[in-house]
């Protein structure tokens, strides 16, 4: 899989660009504020319908414009897909895939699995657990279901009308049940009444069923992921005794339905469900201590980049296409993240994956040195315009 062509209109400081990309390593250099990160962001937005920056939607639309438009061509094996997304100041959006309109941004994500690495990536390790749950979910969404769910058919919890091997369906249903249970808890709390015990138990049972399925899928995913992560940590950082542990959101030995029954009164007082899949987390330790507490900033960056690169590698090997769909890596400002040695290690790893990469930096020479001139295409970004540079 690769993004063959990208067009952006009125996106950030990109008035209009049209870029033919190499299926391998693409290098982009230019001054700060020239539009390099905006180009990466446009690629990410095209694959997810959202920005990787913590901003509202309006800022992605160029000042003075009423809307923005992104289009691309995705090559997947012998198939070429045309994708596009537009957004206006009113918040309306339109997604098209091969000229057909869809409301599901997940269809874009399936066609163009994309990961971002840059200055804010370290938040994955030191930031909110929400980011780490999103990390797990990305992996499950893009890894071929059979690789993660081979044992689900033997499980005692199979939800009626739901495929136990389909993570997106389990995820959607679990969140629906969670919303219903929380709504009942708040309603009972507001009315100072116990409410219908049977109704609450019904939604608790459904929620526990889907939560258990998600937990099993996450557990199996981590078992696939962990050895790859350990290997890449060694390649990039050389840090020993690193562990990657998954916490499911409730005590390992406890039955979730029993928890919901026993803690119903406490949940009602607080107005929300305290335990479950929505409280899951990932914990990285070094020599038995939390990495965020004992590692230097540089070591934390190396760990996080190893986390993301391992995830992309696993998705590329076992992707939803059946034989591995591939991963698009967006690497922002590599030179500011690592020293020369670590830049070379990252580039070597990326080149050897054979996946498509868009990699940015302020200066041309450090980028060329890091990849040892093993790149497909070189671009100069200046004042929101993109120029191809000859080899």
pLDDT band at 91 (very low <50, low <70, confident <90, very high): confident
- Here the tokens at position 226 are 């962990």
Q: Give residue 58's pLDDT.
A: 64
Question: What is the per-residue DSSP string for 49-70?
Answer: SS-SSSS-SGGGBPTT-SEEEE
pLDDT digits over 361-382, tens only? 999 999 999 999 999 999 999 9
DSSP-derived letter for residue 385 is E
Q: In a 10 Å sphere around its CB, with 0-12 CB exposed, 13-18 middle and 19+ buried, how is residue 186 labelled?
A: middle
Q: Give residue 146's pLDDT.
A: 52
CATH number of 2-113+328-389: 3.40.50.300
Alpha carbons 331 and 119: distance in angstroms, whole number = 9
Q: Give residue 55's pLDDT.
A: 61
Alpha carbons 315 and 135: distance in angstroms, whole number = 12
Task: Return the SS3 of 80.
Answer: strand
Average pLDDT of the residues of the chain? 90
Q: What residues pair up with 387 in beta bridges, in sequence order?
A: 380
Q: Residue 151: pLDDT above 80?
A: no
pLDDT digits over 344-355, tens only? 999 999 999 999
pLDDT band at 139 (very low <50, low <70, confident <90, very high): very high
Q: Which residue bears the tokens 């971002």? A: 116
Task: Return the SS3 of 332.
Answer: coil
Q: Give residue 155's pLDDT.
A: 37
Q: Give residue 390's pLDDT.
A: 85
Task: Return the SS3 of 342.
Answer: helix
Residue ranges per structural domain of the chain: 2-113+328-389, 142-225+250-277
- Here the tokens at position 389 are 């540079």
């Amino acid at each position: 899989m690769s993004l063959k062509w990208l067009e952006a209109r009125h996106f950030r400081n990109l008035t209009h660009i049209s870029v033919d990309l190499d299926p391998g390593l693409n290098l982009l250099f230019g001054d700060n504020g020239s539009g390099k990160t905006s180009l990466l962001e446009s690629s990410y937005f095209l694959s997810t319908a959202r920005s990787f920056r913590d901003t509202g939607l309006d800022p992605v639309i160029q000042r003075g414009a009423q809307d923005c438009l992104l289009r691309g061509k995705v090559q997947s094996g012998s198939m070429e897909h045309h994708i596009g997304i537009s957004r206006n100041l009113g918040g309306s959006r339109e997604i098209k895939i091969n000229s057909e309109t869809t409301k599901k941004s997940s269809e874009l994500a399936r066609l163009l699995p994309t990961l971002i690495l840059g200055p804010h990536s370290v938040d994955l390790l030191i930031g909110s657990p929400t980011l780490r749950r999103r990390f797990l979910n990305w992996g499950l969404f893009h890894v071929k279901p059979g690789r993660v769910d081979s044992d689900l058919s033997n499980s005692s919890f199979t939800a009626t009308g739901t495929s136990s091997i389909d993570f997106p369906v389990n995820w959607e249903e679990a969140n629906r049940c969670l919303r219903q249970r929380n709504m009942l808890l708040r309603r009972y709390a507001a009315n100072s009444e116990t409410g219908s015990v049977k109704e609450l138990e019904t939604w608790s049972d459904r929620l526990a069923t889907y939560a258990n399925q998600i937990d099993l899928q996450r557990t199996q995913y981590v078992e696939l992921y962990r050895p790859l992560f350990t290997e890449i940590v060694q390649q990039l950082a050389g840090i020993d005794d690193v562990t990657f542990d998954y916490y499911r959101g409730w005590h390992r030995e406890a039955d979730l339905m029993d928890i919901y029954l026993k803690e119903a009164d406490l949940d009602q007082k607080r107005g929300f469900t305290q335990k479950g899949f929505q409280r899951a987390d990932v914990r990285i330790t070094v020599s038995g201590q939390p990495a965020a507490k004992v590692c230097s900033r540089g070591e934390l960056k190396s760990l996080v980049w190893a986390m993301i690169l391992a995830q992309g590698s696993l998705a590329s090997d076992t992707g939803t296409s059946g034989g591995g769909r591939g991963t698009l890596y967006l690497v922002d400002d590599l030179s500011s993240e690592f020293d020369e040695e670590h830049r070379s290690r990252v580039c070597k790893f990326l080149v050897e994956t054979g996946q498509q990469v868009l990699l940015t930096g302020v200066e041309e020479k450090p980028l060329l040195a890091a990849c040892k001139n093993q790149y497909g295409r070189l671009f100069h970004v200046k004042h929101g315009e993109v120029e191809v540079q000859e080899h």
